[in-house]
Amino acid sequence: MAEVVVLGAGPAGAAVALGLKRLGYGVRVVSEWRRFAALEGVSLRVLEGLRHAGLTRALACADAPSPRRVAWGAGSQSINQECLLDRPRFDAALREDLAHAGIEVLEARVLRVEALESGHLIHLDGGEPLRADFLVEARGRQAPLAGGRLRGPETLSLLNLWREAPGRPGSALESLPDGWAWMARLEDGRCYWQITRDVHGLPPKEQLPAWCAARRGESTLVHELFGEAALQPTELHARSSTAILFNEASGPDWLRVGDAAMAVDPLSGNGIFQSLSSALQAPAVINTLLQRPERTALARRFHQQRVEQLFLRFARTGRDFYAMEQRWAAQPFWRERSTWPDAEPLHAPADINQLRVARAPVIQGDLIEEREVVVTADQPLGIWHLDGIALAPIIQALHAGQLAEALAGLAPEARRKVQGWLLGQGYRP
Protein backbone atom coordinates (compact mmCIF):
# COMPACT_ATOMS: atom_id res chain seq x y z
CA MET A 1 0.00 0.00 0.00
CA ALA A 2 1.11 3.58 -0.67
CA GLU A 3 2.64 5.68 2.10
CA VAL A 4 0.48 8.72 2.86
CA VAL A 5 1.66 11.80 4.74
CA VAL A 6 -0.91 14.18 6.23
CA LEU A 7 0.26 17.73 6.94
CA GLY A 8 -1.75 18.97 9.91
CA ALA A 9 -3.27 17.29 12.98
CA GLY A 10 -6.43 19.35 13.28
CA PRO A 11 -9.91 17.83 12.95
CA ALA A 12 -9.62 17.47 9.15
CA GLY A 13 -6.13 15.96 9.15
CA ALA A 14 -6.96 13.59 12.00
CA ALA A 15 -10.19 12.41 10.35
CA VAL A 16 -8.43 11.67 7.06
CA ALA A 17 -5.56 9.86 8.79
CA LEU A 18 -7.96 7.65 10.77
CA GLY A 19 -9.98 6.85 7.65
CA LEU A 20 -6.89 5.89 5.66
CA LYS A 21 -5.56 3.78 8.51
CA ARG A 22 -8.80 1.78 8.51
CA LEU A 23 -8.26 1.12 4.80
CA GLY A 24 -4.83 -0.34 5.52
CA TYR A 25 -2.62 2.53 4.38
CA GLY A 26 0.59 3.50 6.11
CA VAL A 27 -0.07 7.01 7.43
CA ARG A 28 2.13 9.57 9.12
CA VAL A 29 1.03 12.99 10.32
CA VAL A 30 3.28 16.06 10.50
CA SER A 31 2.08 18.95 12.63
CA GLU A 32 3.08 21.90 14.74
CA TRP A 33 1.29 22.89 17.93
CA ARG A 34 -1.01 25.90 17.74
CA ARG A 35 0.99 28.97 18.78
CA PHE A 36 -1.72 30.60 20.89
CA ALA A 37 -4.57 29.51 23.13
CA ALA A 38 -8.03 29.74 21.62
CA LEU A 39 -11.60 28.88 22.50
CA GLU A 40 -14.42 27.91 20.16
CA GLY A 41 -18.16 27.70 20.57
CA VAL A 42 -19.54 24.65 18.77
CA SER A 43 -22.97 23.18 18.16
CA LEU A 44 -24.23 19.66 18.76
CA ARG A 45 -23.84 19.19 14.99
CA VAL A 46 -20.06 19.57 15.39
CA LEU A 47 -20.01 17.01 18.20
CA GLU A 48 -21.90 14.55 16.02
CA GLY A 49 -19.32 15.09 13.27
CA LEU A 50 -16.49 14.28 15.69
CA ARG A 51 -18.30 11.14 16.79
CA HIS A 52 -18.84 10.06 13.19
CA ALA A 53 -15.12 10.58 12.45
CA GLY A 54 -14.13 8.36 15.38
CA LEU A 55 -12.44 11.22 17.26
CA THR A 56 -13.78 10.09 20.64
CA ARG A 57 -11.09 11.64 22.83
CA ALA A 58 -11.43 14.98 21.08
CA LEU A 59 -15.21 14.75 21.45
CA ALA A 60 -14.86 14.30 25.21
CA CYS A 61 -13.14 17.71 25.45
CA ALA A 62 -16.31 19.66 24.70
CA ASP A 63 -17.92 21.25 27.74
CA ALA A 64 -21.59 20.71 28.48
CA PRO A 65 -23.87 23.23 26.71
CA SER A 66 -23.79 26.64 28.39
CA PRO A 67 -25.98 29.73 27.82
CA ARG A 68 -25.09 32.11 24.98
CA ARG A 69 -26.65 35.56 24.73
CA VAL A 70 -27.16 36.97 21.24
CA ALA A 71 -27.68 40.67 20.50
CA TRP A 72 -28.32 40.94 16.78
CA GLY A 73 -30.76 43.36 15.21
CA ALA A 74 -32.71 46.31 16.63
CA GLY A 75 -33.92 45.56 20.14
CA SER A 76 -33.22 41.85 19.82
CA GLN A 77 -31.58 39.79 22.52
CA SER A 78 -32.05 36.06 22.83
CA ILE A 79 -30.49 33.21 24.75
CA ASN A 80 -29.50 29.89 23.21
CA GLN A 81 -26.77 27.35 23.94
CA GLU A 82 -23.37 26.30 22.65
CA CYS A 83 -20.61 23.97 23.81
CA LEU A 84 -17.29 25.67 24.59
CA LEU A 85 -14.19 23.90 23.26
CA ASP A 86 -10.74 24.66 24.69
CA ARG A 87 -8.53 24.34 21.59
CA PRO A 88 -5.20 23.45 23.32
CA ARG A 89 -6.92 20.60 25.15
CA PHE A 90 -8.85 19.63 22.01
CA ASP A 91 -5.70 19.61 19.85
CA ALA A 92 -3.91 17.37 22.37
CA ALA A 93 -6.88 14.98 22.37
CA LEU A 94 -6.79 14.76 18.57
CA ARG A 95 -3.19 13.57 18.83
CA GLU A 96 -4.26 11.03 21.44
CA ASP A 97 -6.90 9.69 19.04
CA LEU A 98 -4.21 9.32 16.37
CA ALA A 99 -1.76 7.64 18.74
CA HIS A 100 -4.46 5.22 19.93
CA ALA A 101 -4.98 4.21 16.29
CA GLY A 102 -1.24 3.57 15.86
CA ILE A 103 -0.62 6.64 13.69
CA GLU A 104 2.72 8.39 14.16
CA VAL A 105 2.60 12.17 14.65
CA LEU A 106 5.83 14.05 13.91
CA GLU A 107 6.04 17.37 15.74
CA ALA A 108 7.86 19.48 13.16
CA ARG A 109 7.54 22.58 11.01
CA VAL A 110 7.29 21.98 7.29
CA LEU A 111 9.79 24.13 5.41
CA ARG A 112 8.66 23.22 1.92
CA VAL A 113 7.15 20.41 -0.13
CA GLU A 114 9.00 19.26 -3.23
CA ALA A 115 7.04 17.52 -5.97
CA LEU A 116 8.93 14.53 -7.34
CA GLU A 117 8.37 12.58 -10.54
CA SER A 118 6.53 10.14 -8.33
CA GLY A 119 5.37 11.37 -4.94
CA HIS A 120 6.59 14.19 -2.73
CA LEU A 121 9.55 15.10 -0.53
CA ILE A 122 8.65 17.03 2.60
CA HIS A 123 11.49 19.12 4.02
CA LEU A 124 11.25 19.57 7.79
CA ASP A 125 12.88 22.03 10.15
CA GLY A 126 15.56 20.13 12.06
CA GLY A 127 14.89 16.70 10.57
CA GLU A 128 15.45 14.46 7.60
CA PRO A 129 13.18 14.96 4.57
CA LEU A 130 10.09 12.77 4.56
CA ARG A 131 9.04 10.82 1.47
CA ALA A 132 5.33 10.43 0.61
CA ASP A 133 3.59 8.57 -2.18
CA PHE A 134 0.49 10.68 -1.52
CA LEU A 135 0.19 14.02 0.27
CA VAL A 136 -2.80 15.39 2.21
CA GLU A 137 -2.69 19.13 2.86
CA ALA A 138 -4.62 19.78 6.09
CA ARG A 139 -2.76 22.72 7.66
CA GLY A 140 -5.84 24.92 7.61
CA ARG A 141 -5.42 28.59 6.84
CA GLN A 142 -1.67 28.17 7.35
CA ALA A 143 -1.38 26.02 4.22
CA PRO A 144 0.50 27.70 1.33
CA LEU A 145 -1.85 29.78 -0.80
CA ALA A 146 -0.84 28.27 -4.13
CA GLY A 147 -3.22 28.14 -7.07
CA GLY A 148 -6.31 30.09 -8.05
CA ARG A 149 -8.92 30.79 -5.41
CA LEU A 150 -12.07 32.72 -4.67
CA ARG A 151 -11.75 35.19 -1.79
CA GLY A 152 -14.49 36.84 0.15
CA PRO A 153 -14.30 40.30 1.73
CA GLU A 154 -10.97 40.71 3.51
CA THR A 155 -11.72 40.04 7.19
CA LEU A 156 -9.59 40.03 10.35
CA SER A 157 -10.28 38.64 13.83
CA LEU A 158 -8.55 40.04 16.92
CA LEU A 159 -8.60 37.54 19.79
CA ASN A 160 -8.06 38.90 23.33
CA LEU A 161 -7.33 36.63 26.32
CA TRP A 162 -7.19 37.26 30.07
CA ARG A 163 -8.02 35.55 33.36
CA GLU A 164 -10.52 36.37 36.09
CA ALA A 165 -11.79 34.59 39.19
CA PRO A 166 -13.54 31.25 38.54
CA GLY A 167 -17.25 31.58 37.84
CA ARG A 168 -20.18 30.41 35.80
CA PRO A 169 -19.29 29.69 32.16
CA GLY A 170 -21.12 31.41 29.34
CA SER A 171 -20.77 33.19 26.03
CA ALA A 172 -22.29 36.01 24.00
CA LEU A 173 -22.44 37.33 20.45
CA GLU A 174 -23.19 40.91 19.46
CA SER A 175 -23.19 43.01 16.32
CA LEU A 176 -21.25 46.28 16.14
CA PRO A 177 -21.36 49.13 13.60
CA ASP A 178 -18.04 47.98 12.10
CA GLY A 179 -18.18 44.22 12.73
CA TRP A 180 -19.20 41.75 15.42
CA ALA A 181 -17.79 40.33 18.65
CA TRP A 182 -17.93 36.88 20.25
CA MET A 183 -16.98 36.48 23.89
CA ALA A 184 -16.84 33.65 26.41
CA ARG A 185 -15.60 32.75 29.86
CA LEU A 186 -14.72 29.29 31.14
CA GLU A 187 -15.51 28.00 34.60
CA ASP A 188 -11.84 28.26 35.62
CA GLY A 189 -11.82 32.02 34.92
CA ARG A 190 -10.17 32.09 31.49
CA CYS A 191 -11.80 34.78 29.36
CA TYR A 192 -11.92 35.38 25.61
CA TRP A 193 -13.20 38.27 23.49
CA GLN A 194 -12.82 38.35 19.72
CA ILE A 195 -13.81 41.14 17.37
CA THR A 196 -14.17 40.37 13.66
CA ARG A 197 -14.15 43.27 11.23
CA ASP A 198 -12.72 44.64 8.00
CA VAL A 199 -8.92 44.65 7.68
CA HIS A 200 -8.86 48.39 6.95
CA GLY A 201 -9.15 51.29 9.38
CA LEU A 202 -7.43 49.72 12.40
CA PRO A 203 -4.93 51.58 14.62
CA PRO A 204 -1.21 50.65 14.56
CA LYS A 205 -0.31 47.21 15.91
CA GLU A 206 1.07 48.53 19.21
CA GLN A 207 -2.20 50.35 19.91
CA LEU A 208 -4.51 47.38 19.24
CA PRO A 209 -4.70 46.02 22.84
CA ALA A 210 -5.81 49.41 24.20
CA TRP A 211 -8.20 49.89 21.26
CA CYS A 212 -9.82 46.50 21.93
CA ALA A 213 -10.13 47.29 25.66
CA ALA A 214 -11.91 50.54 24.81
CA ARG A 215 -14.31 48.66 22.52
CA ARG A 216 -15.12 46.21 25.32
CA GLY A 217 -15.90 49.12 27.59
CA GLU A 218 -18.69 50.14 25.18
CA SER A 219 -20.45 46.76 25.38
CA THR A 220 -23.30 45.99 27.77
CA LEU A 221 -22.76 42.26 27.24
CA VAL A 222 -19.09 42.57 28.26
CA HIS A 223 -20.12 44.25 31.53
CA GLU A 224 -22.67 41.48 32.17
CA LEU A 225 -20.31 38.57 31.43
CA PHE A 226 -16.94 39.77 32.75
CA GLY A 227 -15.38 41.71 35.60
CA GLU A 228 -13.18 44.82 35.65
CA ALA A 229 -10.23 42.96 34.10
CA ALA A 230 -12.10 43.00 30.79
CA LEU A 231 -11.64 46.77 30.58
CA GLN A 232 -7.84 46.57 30.58
CA PRO A 233 -5.50 45.86 27.61
CA THR A 234 -4.79 42.12 27.36
CA GLU A 235 -2.87 39.51 25.38
CA LEU A 236 -3.89 39.73 21.73
CA HIS A 237 -3.61 37.54 18.61
CA ALA A 238 -4.64 38.59 15.11
CA ARG A 239 -5.73 36.04 12.50
CA SER A 240 -7.37 36.12 9.10
CA SER A 241 -11.06 35.24 8.83
CA THR A 242 -11.40 35.82 5.09
CA ALA A 243 -13.49 33.19 3.32
CA ILE A 244 -11.38 31.29 0.74
CA LEU A 245 -12.27 28.59 -1.78
CA PHE A 246 -9.51 26.90 -3.80
CA ASN A 247 -10.26 26.34 -7.47
CA GLU A 248 -8.25 23.11 -7.43
CA ALA A 249 -8.50 21.04 -4.26
CA SER A 250 -6.73 17.94 -5.58
CA GLY A 251 -4.22 16.44 -7.96
CA PRO A 252 -3.38 12.85 -8.96
CA ASP A 253 -1.24 12.39 -5.82
CA TRP A 254 -2.38 15.15 -3.42
CA LEU A 255 -5.55 16.42 -1.80
CA ARG A 256 -6.59 19.52 0.15
CA VAL A 257 -9.09 19.09 3.02
CA GLY A 258 -10.63 21.26 5.70
CA ASP A 259 -9.65 24.92 5.82
CA ALA A 260 -6.82 24.17 3.39
CA ALA A 261 -9.47 23.50 0.72
CA MET A 262 -12.05 26.05 1.82
CA ALA A 263 -12.19 28.37 4.81
CA VAL A 264 -15.44 30.10 5.73
CA ASP A 265 -16.33 33.24 7.66
CA PRO A 266 -16.47 32.30 11.38
CA LEU A 267 -19.96 33.80 11.59
CA SER A 268 -21.32 30.59 10.04
CA GLY A 269 -20.38 28.94 13.34
CA ASN A 270 -19.49 25.66 11.64
CA GLY A 271 -15.73 25.81 11.05
CA ILE A 272 -14.96 22.42 12.57
CA PHE A 273 -18.04 20.87 10.97
CA GLN A 274 -17.09 22.02 7.47
CA SER A 275 -13.53 20.78 8.02
CA LEU A 276 -14.85 17.36 8.97
CA SER A 277 -17.33 17.34 6.08
CA SER A 278 -14.62 17.61 3.45
CA ALA A 279 -12.32 15.24 5.36
CA LEU A 280 -14.77 12.37 5.85
CA GLN A 281 -15.11 11.88 2.09
CA ALA A 282 -11.34 12.11 1.52
CA PRO A 283 -10.31 8.48 2.30
CA ALA A 284 -12.61 7.15 -0.45
CA VAL A 285 -11.30 9.78 -2.87
CA ILE A 286 -7.65 8.98 -2.05
CA ASN A 287 -8.28 5.23 -2.19
CA THR A 288 -9.78 5.66 -5.66
CA LEU A 289 -6.87 7.80 -6.88
CA LEU A 290 -4.38 5.18 -5.68
CA GLN A 291 -6.24 1.93 -6.48
CA ARG A 292 -8.29 2.96 -9.53
CA PRO A 293 -6.16 5.49 -11.46
CA GLU A 294 -8.53 5.17 -14.44
CA ARG A 295 -11.11 6.96 -12.24
CA THR A 296 -8.81 9.87 -11.36
CA ALA A 297 -10.93 12.50 -13.11
CA LEU A 298 -14.12 11.11 -11.53
CA ALA A 299 -12.67 11.10 -8.00
CA ARG A 300 -11.24 14.60 -8.33
CA ARG A 301 -14.55 15.91 -9.69
CA PHE A 302 -16.38 14.34 -6.75
CA HIS A 303 -14.09 16.03 -4.22
CA GLN A 304 -14.08 19.44 -5.92
CA GLN A 305 -17.83 19.57 -6.39
CA ARG A 306 -18.53 18.75 -2.78
CA VAL A 307 -15.95 21.19 -1.45
CA GLU A 308 -17.49 23.94 -3.58
CA GLN A 309 -21.05 23.03 -2.59
CA LEU A 310 -20.16 23.00 1.11
CA PHE A 311 -18.42 26.35 0.76
CA LEU A 312 -21.43 27.96 -0.90
CA ARG A 313 -23.80 26.59 1.74
CA PHE A 314 -21.73 28.00 4.58
CA ALA A 315 -21.04 31.29 2.77
CA ARG A 316 -24.75 31.81 2.11
CA THR A 317 -25.54 30.98 5.74
CA GLY A 318 -23.18 33.75 6.85
CA ARG A 319 -24.57 36.12 4.20
CA ASP A 320 -28.13 35.65 5.42
CA PHE A 321 -27.12 36.16 9.05
CA TYR A 322 -25.34 39.39 8.13
CA ALA A 323 -28.46 40.53 6.25
CA MET A 324 -30.58 40.05 9.39
CA GLU A 325 -28.77 42.95 11.08
CA GLN A 326 -30.38 46.04 9.55
CA ARG A 327 -29.15 48.70 12.00
CA TRP A 328 -25.77 48.90 10.27
CA ALA A 329 -26.89 47.87 6.76
CA ALA A 330 -25.44 51.03 5.18
CA GLN A 331 -22.01 50.54 6.80
CA PRO A 332 -19.33 49.15 4.42
CA PHE A 333 -18.63 46.06 6.55
CA TRP A 334 -22.27 44.97 6.57
CA ARG A 335 -23.18 46.09 3.07
CA GLU A 336 -20.42 44.01 1.49
CA ARG A 337 -20.98 40.84 3.51
CA SER A 338 -24.78 40.79 3.32
CA THR A 339 -24.61 40.30 -0.47
CA TRP A 340 -21.59 37.96 -0.82
CA PRO A 341 -21.04 35.42 -2.40
CA ASP A 342 -24.19 35.75 -4.55
CA ALA A 343 -27.94 36.33 -4.46
CA GLU A 344 -28.90 32.65 -4.70
CA PRO A 345 -31.14 31.37 -1.86
CA LEU A 346 -29.61 29.16 0.80
CA HIS A 347 -32.26 26.55 0.07
CA ALA A 348 -34.09 26.38 -3.26
CA PRO A 349 -37.83 25.68 -2.99
CA ALA A 350 -38.91 22.13 -3.77
CA ASP A 351 -40.23 21.61 -7.29
CA ILE A 352 -41.25 18.15 -8.45
CA ASN A 353 -41.03 19.34 -12.07
CA GLN A 354 -37.29 20.02 -11.72
CA LEU A 355 -36.37 16.49 -10.65
CA ARG A 356 -34.16 14.77 -13.19
CA VAL A 357 -31.91 11.73 -13.36
CA ALA A 358 -28.21 12.16 -14.18
CA ARG A 359 -25.00 10.20 -13.83
CA ALA A 360 -22.67 11.52 -11.14
CA PRO A 361 -19.83 10.37 -8.86
CA VAL A 362 -20.84 8.87 -5.50
CA ILE A 363 -19.16 7.01 -2.66
CA GLN A 364 -19.70 3.27 -2.95
CA GLY A 365 -17.97 1.46 -0.10
CA ASP A 366 -14.38 2.72 -0.08
CA LEU A 367 -14.31 3.96 -3.67
CA ILE A 368 -15.78 6.65 -5.90
CA GLU A 369 -18.06 5.27 -8.61
CA GLU A 370 -20.45 6.78 -11.15
CA ARG A 371 -24.13 6.06 -10.60
CA GLU A 372 -27.53 7.41 -11.57
CA VAL A 373 -28.67 10.05 -9.08
CA VAL A 374 -31.68 12.34 -8.76
CA VAL A 375 -30.84 16.03 -9.13
CA THR A 376 -33.16 18.41 -7.25
CA ALA A 377 -33.36 22.19 -7.00
CA ASP A 378 -31.79 22.07 -3.53
CA GLN A 379 -29.39 19.17 -4.18
CA PRO A 380 -27.62 20.00 -7.48
CA LEU A 381 -25.03 17.24 -6.96
CA GLY A 382 -27.78 14.66 -6.79
CA ILE A 383 -29.19 12.12 -4.33
CA TRP A 384 -28.29 8.51 -4.93
CA HIS A 385 -30.46 6.70 -2.41
CA LEU A 386 -32.83 7.24 0.50
CA ASP A 387 -31.85 4.94 3.38
CA GLY A 388 -30.59 2.41 0.84
CA ILE A 389 -33.51 2.85 -1.60
CA ALA A 390 -32.25 3.92 -5.04
CA LEU A 391 -34.19 7.01 -6.10
CA ALA A 392 -33.34 7.15 -9.82
CA PRO A 393 -35.68 4.23 -10.74
CA ILE A 394 -38.48 5.91 -8.77
CA ILE A 395 -38.16 9.20 -10.65
CA GLN A 396 -37.80 7.42 -13.99
CA ALA A 397 -41.05 5.58 -13.22
CA LEU A 398 -42.71 8.86 -12.24
CA HIS A 399 -41.73 10.45 -15.55
CA ALA A 400 -43.00 7.37 -17.40
CA GLY A 401 -46.34 7.45 -15.60
CA GLN A 402 -45.58 4.20 -13.77
CA LEU A 403 -45.01 5.45 -10.21
CA ALA A 404 -47.74 3.28 -8.70
CA GLU A 405 -46.11 0.15 -10.09
CA ALA A 406 -42.66 1.21 -8.82
CA LEU A 407 -44.00 1.92 -5.33
CA ALA A 408 -45.90 -1.36 -5.26
CA GLY A 409 -42.60 -3.21 -5.63
CA LEU A 410 -41.23 -1.75 -2.39
CA ALA A 411 -41.65 -3.08 1.13
CA PRO A 412 -44.26 -1.13 3.16
CA GLU A 413 -41.73 0.82 5.25
CA ALA A 414 -39.62 1.68 2.20
CA ARG A 415 -42.75 2.75 0.33
CA ARG A 416 -43.73 5.13 3.14
CA LYS A 417 -40.26 6.69 3.13
CA VAL A 418 -40.27 7.25 -0.61
CA GLN A 419 -43.79 8.67 -0.56
CA GLY A 420 -42.81 11.07 2.22
CA TRP A 421 -39.74 12.17 0.24
CA LEU A 422 -41.83 12.74 -2.90
CA LEU A 423 -44.30 14.85 -0.95
CA GLY A 424 -41.38 16.89 0.38
CA GLN A 425 -40.29 17.49 -3.21
CA GLY A 426 -43.69 18.95 -4.08
CA TYR A 427 -45.40 15.85 -5.48
CA ARG A 428 -49.15 16.08 -5.13
CA PRO A 429 -50.94 12.89 -6.23
pLDDT digits (tens, 9 = 90+) for 406-419: 999 999 999 999 99
Average pLDDT over every residue of 114-120: 94
Backbone φ and ψ for 132, nearest 5 degrees, come out as -135, 135
Q: Identify the CA nearest to 316 among candidates 375, 236, 378, 370.
A: 378
Buried b (16+ CB within 10 A) or exposed e, 231-263: eeebebeeeebbbbbbeebbeebbbbbbbbbbb
Q: What are the tens digits of pLDDT across the range 351-402?
A: 999 999 999 999 999 999 999 999 999 999 999 999 999 999 999 999 999 9
Q: Percent of the chain beyond pLDDT 70?
A: 99
Q: Identify the CA nearest to 58 among candidates 279, 303, 256.
A: 279
pLDDT value of residue 142: 85
Contact 66, 43 (CB under 8 A): no
- Taken in order of first residue, the domains within the chain and their CATH numbers are 3-63+85-148+244-337 (3.50.50.60), 155-240 (3.30.9.10), 352-424 (no CATH)
Q: Percent of the chain beyond pLDDT 90?
A: 86
Q: What are the tens digits of pLDDT across the range 327-342?
A: 999 999 999 999 999 9
pLDDT value of residue 95: 97
Q: Residue 199 to residues 6, 174, 205, 206, 238: CA-CA distances in angstroms? A: 32, 19, 12, 16, 11
Averaged confidence pLDDT in the chain = 94
Contact 253, 115 (CB under 8 A): no
User: Could you tell me which residues are beta bridge partners of residue 173?
Assistant: 70, 182
Q: Identify the CA nearest to 68 among candidates 196, 184, 165, 187.
A: 184
CB contact set of 124 (below 8 Å; sequence gap of 6+)? 30, 106, 108, 109, 110, 111, 130
Q: Does the pLDDT of residue 38 top 70, yes or no?
A: yes
Strands of the sheet containing 130-132, edge to edge, are 110-115, 120-124, 130-132
pLDDT value of residue 34: 85
If pLDDT is split at 50, 70 and 90, which confidence band does 268 have? Answer: low
Q: What are the tens digits of pLDDT across the range 44-77?
A: 888 999 999 999 999 999 999 989 999 998 766 7
Task: Find the range with the poorest average confidence among 102-116, 143-157, 209-223, 350-364.
Answer: 143-157
Whether cis (ω within 30° of 0) applies to the bond prior to 341 is yes
**How far apart are alpha carbons 393 and 428 in whole angstroms?**
19
**How far apart are alpha carbons 415 and 422 in whole angstroms?**
11
